[in-house]
Structure formats: structure tokens, C-alpha cells
């Protein structure tokens, strides 16, 4: 079998995770290129969308203009300022709240960063006002500082306005934490290139071409073609085949490093799935509580408790996704249900700790195997009414599962 690195040229035959494989082909400056093998198209696309729109960054949200005699109207200047990428590395430690949810009156250091701009042209030549004129107030850290290009030749900052002699701009910007779900200015990526099936052998794309021209000339194969086996013209149409290899090209704008964007995107997606799951569980448990008052408490009193992550992390823990995303270690609980989400060999409390991404799935059994003995679904005999979110949670033995969040989604 021909290979590129350790990646076979034959795409995986399954897309359910059995042949899961990731190959990072390039990490350079503001880009990461990687290949994800063996997952469903829907999941692959969710990863792309999470990177685009579900990562917290800083962006200027309000501008207080005291003087603007430039040719740009205030609104246009404010719009340009809003799109300036601001360094958001380590932001979550400093800017902990969304502005709208903060308990301050309008803004405070826990929900915002202040930048000021004072520029006046005093010479007869045109003055260029750039993001280098934006000064971070307070200066506790570099969080909120306008980002510069990773290219050493492009260190002049981003042009905001041009001033003729006598013109001036004085303003104050309030940058807040947000996500591109609300406005694209918070997106940490310029684009996420996403491709599968570069030879279009599955015919998902209708390659339009002029009559009399050769479609192969009109539609040259992309760079990613080199990672796959070129189909022969005589090959039969694989009508049963589904896409199972995906090429990502993440291009960062400047707020975050491209590799961090990938990790944070995955964090965001996992959190979202978990919240959906917890929401469904809460609904179910409510129903059960009405029907059998006290039963849930019984379950909670078992050693380890199981439900809601008694143990590390836990439901609603501070800044959670809790400590353990699927803890649990030992033997299968009697009557433990299916679909352990983490369980298995992952030691309790270490299943999923957000900054240490590799922890998730460190156990080969993270999505099956032993995990299937675990919490999700719970077990009828002896099981807690509220299954914990991990390994042994359901049977009230491990109880390291659980998770939560302080942020509503």
C-alpha cells in the first residue's frame, strides 16, 4: 500500500471512528493543515463550524469618539476598529465574563479591555493611523493588544485611517469577549479550508464546464489530491461509499495561534454535545423526580454517588467542564447500561480536562470498549436515577463523572 507519511493513500473504509486517524501535515505561522480520517461528514463539518464560530475571543464592541475630523465617518471608523484582531491568548484568565452577563454597570476589567487612540497629523504629508496607535489601557498583560502579522515583513499594523494636516482622531474603545456566533469580528479564523474527496469520485460536486472543453482541465485536482489514490477512469462509481477523509486548512487572523484554534474548537464542540446531553438528562430526571420522589436522593447517597459528577469537576463546577469527562476505572457495574462516554481505562478524574486536550480519548476505550459498561444510560438494578457522566457513574461507584459549566450556551 502506498503511503504519505504514515497515512495510507486508500481512504478509510469506515466513518464511525473505527479507523480514526489524524495527521497534521503543516503548522506554519498563521496556518494549520491537518487531515482527519474515519469520521462522519457531519462530525467533520461540526469541527469546522466550531472553529469558526464557537471560540471566545476579544473584539472592540463599543467606541467612544471624542474627536474625529478625518474624512472617515464615525460609523465607518468604528466598524474598522471592530474588525481589528486583538490578542486573546490567555484571555479566559483575565476577561472571565461576557459583558452582557457581568454584574458591573457597563464594563469592568472582568468583562472588557480598554484601548485608546490619539492621533493628530501635524506635518504636510499624509499620516497613516494604524492599529499600532491603539494603546492598551492598564497594560496588565498583552491580552487585548492589537495582533501583528506573523510575517516579519508586515509589522506596520493594520491601516485604520489617513489624516491630512490638522486632522485628528481621539477615541476610546471597549473590547469585550464574544463569539462569532454573534458577530464575525470575534471569529479567530479568516477561513477554515475544508475539503474531502479531491477527485470527486463520489460525485458530490457537480463540476460545471463549457461544452467542448475538458472538465479535467477546467477543474484541476487540489493540493490534497496527493494524499489519495487517483481513481482510474474505468473504476465503477462507488455509489455505496461515503466520505471518510477530510482536509482542513485553518487560517488564523491573529487573536489565537492556529493550533490553539483547533484545540479550542474541539473543546467547544465537546462542551456543546455535553450540554445537549445534560439538558436531555435534566428533562428526564425531572420527570422521574415527580414520579418517584426520593429515588434520586437514594442514588446520590451511594458511595461515589454517580449522578452529576460527585467527585472531580462535577456539575456546575467553577469554570467547569468539570474535571472529569468520563472517569471511572474499575470493573463494569452490574446492570450498567450502554454508551459509556469516557469510562474504561481512563483514570477517574482525568478523563477530560480542557487545557490538556490529549486527555480526552487518551484511553483507547473512550468511546466504546469498556466505556460501554459505563454511565450513560445507567443501569436499572442499583443504578442511580441520575447517571453520572462517566465510567462507573451509573452504578454509583466511580462517580467521577459529571461536568458542568458556568456559561450558558
**Which segment (108-116, 128-136, 222-230, 348-356) binds Zn ion by CB under 5 A?**
108-116
Q: Based on CB atoms, which residue is closest to Zn ion, 114 or 164?
A: 114
DSSP structural state of residue 146? B
Determine the Cα–Cα distance for residues 163 and 371; give it in Å rounded to an integer.
64
Shortest Å distance, C-beta 113 to Zn ion: 11
Residue 106 CB, nearest distance to Zn ion (Å)? 8
Q: Applying CB under 5 A, which part among 88-96, 99-107, 163-171, 268-276 lies near Zn ion?
A: 99-107
Q: Tell the smallest beta-carbon distance from residue 176 to Zn ion (Å).
A: 9
**Whole-number minimum distance, CB 229 to Zn ion, in Å?**
55
Handedness of CA 253, 259, 265, 267 (dihedral sign): negative
DSSP string, 60-118: EEEEEEEEE-SSS-HHHHHHHHHTS-B--TTHHHH--S-GGG-SSSS--TTTEEEEEEE
The rounded radius of gyration (Å) of the Cα atoms in the chain is 26
Interacting residue with Zn ion among 72, 78, 102, 119 (CB under 5 A): 102
Judged by beta carbon, residue 84 or residue 102, the one nearer Zn ion is 102
Report the alpha-carbon angle 256-260-266, nearest 5: 125
Our finding on whether 356 is near Zn ion (CB under 5 A) is no
Task: Provide the terminal-to-terminal Cα distance of the chain, rounded to the nearest Å.
Answer: 46
Residues from 111 through 130 that contact Zn ion (CB under 5 A): 111
Query: Minimum distance from CB of 272 to Zn ion (Å)?
Result: 25
Does 55 contact Zn ion by CB under 5 A? Answer: no
CA distance 302 to 286: 20
> Between residues 87 and 112, which has the closer beta carbon with respect to Zn ion?
112
Q: Which residue has 486508500 as its cell numbers?
A: 10
Query: Do 395 and 401 touch, CB atoms closer than 8 A?
Result: no
Check residue 95 for interaction with Zn ion (CB under 5 A).
no
Closer residue to Zn ion (CB): 104 or 135: 104
Indicate whether 108 belongs to the interface with Zn ion (CB under 5 A).
Answer: yes
Interface contacts to Zn ion, rule CB under 5 A: 102, 104, 108, 110-111
Amino acid at each position: 500500500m502506498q503511503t504519505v507519511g504514515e497515512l495510507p493513500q486508500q481512504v478509510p473504509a469506515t466513518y464511525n471512528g473505527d479507523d480514526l486517524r489524524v495527521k497534521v501535515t503543516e503548522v506554519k505561522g498563521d496556518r494549520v493543515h491537518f487531515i482527519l480520517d474515519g469520521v462522519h461528514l457531519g462530525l467533520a463539518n461540526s469541527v469546522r463550524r466550531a472553529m469558526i464560530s464557537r471560540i471566545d475571543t476579544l473584539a472592540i464592541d463599543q467606541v467612544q469618539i471624542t474627536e474625529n475630523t478625518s474624512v472617515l465617518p464615525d460609523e465607518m471608523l468604528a466598524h474598522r476598529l471592530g474588525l481589528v484582531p486583538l490578542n486573546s491568548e490567555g484571555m479566559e484568565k483575565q476577561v472571565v465574563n461576557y459583558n452582557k452577563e457581568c454584574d458591573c454597570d457597563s464594563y469592568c476589567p472582568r468583562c472588557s479591555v480598554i484601548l485608546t487612540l490619539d492621533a493628530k497629523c501635524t506635518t504636510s504629508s499624509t499620516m497613516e493611523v494604524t492599529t499600532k496607535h491603539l494603546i492598551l489601557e492598564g497594560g496588565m498583560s498583552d491580552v487585548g493588544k492589537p495582533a501583528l502579522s506573523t510575517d516579519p515583513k508586515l509589522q506596520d499594523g493594520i491601516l485604520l485611517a489617513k489624516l491630512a494636516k490638522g486632522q485628528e482622531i481621539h477615541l476610546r474603545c471597549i473590547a469585550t469577549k464574544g463569539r462569532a456566533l454573534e458577530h464575525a469580528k470575534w471569529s479567530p479564523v479568516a477561513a477554515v479550508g475544508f475539503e474531502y474527496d479531491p477527485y470527486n469520485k463520489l460525485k458530490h460536486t457537480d463540476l460545471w464546464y463549457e461544452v467542448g472543453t475538458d472538465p479535467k482541465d477546467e477543474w484541476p485536482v487540489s493540493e490534497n489530491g496527493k494524499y489519495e489514490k487517483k481513481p482510474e477512469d474505468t473504476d465503477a462509481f462507488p455509489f455505496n461509499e461515503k466520505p471518510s477523509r477530510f482536509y482542513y486548512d485553518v487560517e488564523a487572523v491573529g487573536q489565537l495561534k492556529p493550533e490553539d484554534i483547533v484545540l479550542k474548537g474541539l473543546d467547544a464542540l465537546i462542551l456543546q454535545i455535553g450540554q445537549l446531553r445534560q439538558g436531555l438528562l435534566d428533562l428526564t430526571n425531572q420527570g422521574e423526580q415527580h414520579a418517584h420522589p426520593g429515588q434520586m436522593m437514594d442514588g446520590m447517597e451511594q458511595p461515589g454517588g454517580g449522578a452529576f459528577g460527585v467527585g472531580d469537576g462535577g456539575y456546575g463546577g467553577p469554570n467547569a467542564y468539570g474535571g472529569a469527562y468520563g472517569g471511572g476505572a474499575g470493573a463494569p457495574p452490574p446492570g450498567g447500561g450502554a454508551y459509556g462516554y469516557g469510562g474504561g481505562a481512563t483514570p477517574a478524574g482525568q478523563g477530560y480536562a480542557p487545557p490538556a486536550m490529549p486527555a480526552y480519548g487518551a484511553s483507547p476505550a473512550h468511546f466504546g470498549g469498556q466505556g460501554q459498561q459505563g454511565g450513560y444510560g445507567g443501569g436499572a438494578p442499583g443504578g442511580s436515577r441520575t447517571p453520572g457522566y462517566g465510567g462507573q457513574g451509573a452504578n454509583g461507584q466511580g462517580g467521577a463523572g459529571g461536568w458542568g459549566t458556568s456559561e450558558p450556551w
